[in-house]
Amino acid sequence: MNSYIINKNLKRNFFSKRKKDKEKFEFWITSTYIALLSLISLMLLYYVWILNVNATKGYNIRELEIEKKQLLMQKELLDVKIAELESLSTILWDNDLQNMQRVENPTYLVIKDDVQYVYNN
């Protein structure tokens, strides 16, 4: 055999256009696969982060609801105490009221629509 033909054939690249297109296509598929996996990973991390934020907000809401219930109970207790102190029986049993003298002939002044009326009993 001729040595020139053998050497000439070794230097020549046998890459065809079809083989180059196939390699480009495989690279495109690989890069697309990697991009999709990274996108899915990022979306999973975002989902976990959103779940954590929502759980934290839910915990804060529960704490505020408990505090609200406690404050409403305190308000109701204070309303009961106010009603008790303003009740007629408390006013009648007050020491200052018991020491007052009765008026025998009272005069009343009624103001209605900027007109004054005086009534005597």
Virtual CA dihedral for 97, 100, 106, 109, nearest 10 degrees? -50
Give the pLDDT confidence of 56-97 residue by residue, as tens digits.
998 999 999 999 999 999 999 999 988 888 877 777 776 666
CA 27 to CA 33: how far, in whole Å?
10
Amino acid at 96: D
pTM over 0.85: no
DSSP element (H, E) containing 118? strand 115-120
Give the pLDDT confidence of 3-50 residue by residue, as tens digits.
555 555 554 555 677 777 777 777 788 889 999 999 999 999 999 999
Q: Under 8 Å CB-to-CB from 96, ≥6 apart: which residues?
A: none
